[in-house]
Structure 1
Amino acid sequence: MEHSRRSFLVSAAAALGLSGCSELSGFEPTSRRDSGATSGETTNPQAGGVGTDAPLTPSAGTETEPVQQEFSQATRERASEVGTAVRDSVVVLRDGNAGGTGWVVGEGEIVTNAHVADGSPTLSVETFDGATGTAERVGYHEDLRPDLALLETDLSVPPLSLGNVEDLSRGDPLVTVGHPGRLGQWIISLGRYLRVLDGIDWLLSTVPTQRGNSGGPLVTLDGDVVGVVSGSTTGPESSRPDFSRNETAYTEFPELAERTTSVPVDTLEASLSDWR
């Protein structure tokens, strides 16, 4: 499953013309301590003047309904432009051999996941332009509910603007920039918004992510943050196929359909108001 998921992300990154150079480990999804999802890491089609994509299946509020994943060339080009702008605000966070992604929300303020920042109150930081320094943890949710943390740093990095989840429709293109495992750093990936699961406060999308993407910004094609990448899930048990009693030897196990989970931006704003 790891190989096929990696191939998908490599192709997405290549199409957007970006690559990275280093590796991070230590990803732990939001679900590790709460709702039992599996590990993984991970706008209107006309928004921003990007043209029209293929029609989407209308949503009736179920996760099993298909969403068209193909994008028009104009949308892909817009995603590349947005990702290139966003990456200036995205940082690498490290705590020994563990780490993840962070991004700047205000002057000297870095947002990431609680599971990225819970190992130490101090993390090392690297910016896109190569500047390095440290960041001190000033707020986080120890129980990972929600999976958010706020750090402070002396490094000067431009902040990202916050959007509104209420403005999203099922199938809208979304972009993230992060450091997915062995693929490298500041990798742009593109997918679609699905819905928000209110009971566990997850924003689901098809944006491809892997270990190392934890804490990255999920943004619209206008560059506004609508979520903080936290992990992935394979969805409800009823939607998972059963490959039992197969009669051939697998050289690669069939991949289950994964959805990237993110903490919605309104939940982030509530935490920020407590920590600032």
Structure 2
Amino acid sequence: MARSRRSVLASLAAAAGLSGCSGVVERLPDDGSALEERVRTAAEAAGDQVDGRDPPTEPFDEATRERASETGRQIRDSVVVLETDRRRGTGWAVGDGQIVTNAHVVLGAPSMSVETFDETTGTAERVGYYEDMRPDLALLETDVSVPTLSLGDSADLEYGDPLITVGHPGRLGKWLITLGRFYRRPRGIDWLLSTVPVQQGNSGGPLVTLDGDVVGVVSGSTTGGDRPDFSKNDTAFTELPETEGETTAVPEGTLEESLSEWR
């Protein structure tokens, strides 16, 4: 599908994603508070267009928690830390030597350092991204090898379906597995909304079903405070300190369109 599919509000979706990368907002050319207000207004307008259901809050049974933890452990070898001296984000392998992340993670950074779960390090070069963050996606090529994740179909998601991500939320650590539920896909904004807990640093991470298929790229997160380091924990967290609101993600269909332009 052509780029015309992207919503006129996609720029606001991208702006929301800016809060998901550690230390990015204060370095934007525009005023961050003004951007956040525009995003809130757009999100509220989108919320008025759905059926009025609240975000799903049903607790997870032990079997689902165990499966989420298992899936998270399986996919985290494909998830990397992307970092410069001023910011950190998350990426994941979509092909041999190819890493997906958010456009706002790579803004002003044509190259970034890469760290894998087994602590292999290398570099990644930006080969495709949208400077206007419409959509908030980027592709990098790297000299490190990590397993590729498969893409699923977000159209198959139903309200309340379990979803996970693996990423590097702020000061909480690296390769944290978090578990939540699919909420909705609001009209007018190219988002998937879920209750998967994320914070600064999760930007660019994969939004994954319990089968291990990627259905989105995490783009929005909330800010947390100083907390203990939970790096490489083997269980799936269902909440993180000081998180609020919903997590936004760019759908995998939009990612596929972008990859067809860059490859």
TM-score range, shorter chain: 0.7 to 0.9
Moved more, 185-194 or 61-70: 61-70
Closer, same or farther: CA 109–34 of 1 in aligned 2, 3 Å: farther
The match for 2:93 is: 104
Residue 172 (structure 2) pairs with residue 183 (structure 1): yes
Distance 1:205 1:186 in 2: 19
SS at match of 1:197: coil
The match for 1:167 is: 156
Residue 65 (structure 2) pairs with residue 76 (structure 1): yes
The match for 1:26 is: 23
TM-score, length-normalised on structure 1?
A: 0.71
Aligned-residue Cα RMSD (Å) equals 2.2
The structure richer in helix per residue is 2
Give 5+ residue unaligned stretches, structure 1. 1-23, 39-59, 234-254
Return the offset for 1:99. 1.4
Runs of 4+ in 1 over 2 A off after TM superposition: 24-29, 32-38, 60-66
Closer, same or farther: CA 97–256 of 1 in aligned 2, 3 Å: closer
1:1-276 alignment, distance < 5 Å:
25-28=22-25, 36-37=38-39, 61-232=50-221, 257-276=244-263
Q: What do residues 51-101 of structure 1 show as CA deviations (whole Å, max 9, x unaligned)?
A: xxxxxxxxx933543523300100000000000011000000002121100
SS at match of 1:115: helix
Distance 2:55 2:205 in 1: 26
Give 5+ residue unaligned stretches, structure 2. 1-20, 27-31, 41-48, 223-241
Distance 1:28 1:266 in 2: 27
Distance 1:66 1:181 in 2: 24
Distance 2:111 2:62 in 1: 42
Percent sequence identity is: 66
Return the offset for 1:256. 8.8
Counterpart AA for 1:268: L
TM-score, length-normalised on structure 2?
A: 0.75
Aligned residue pair count: 209
Counterpart AA for 1:36: R
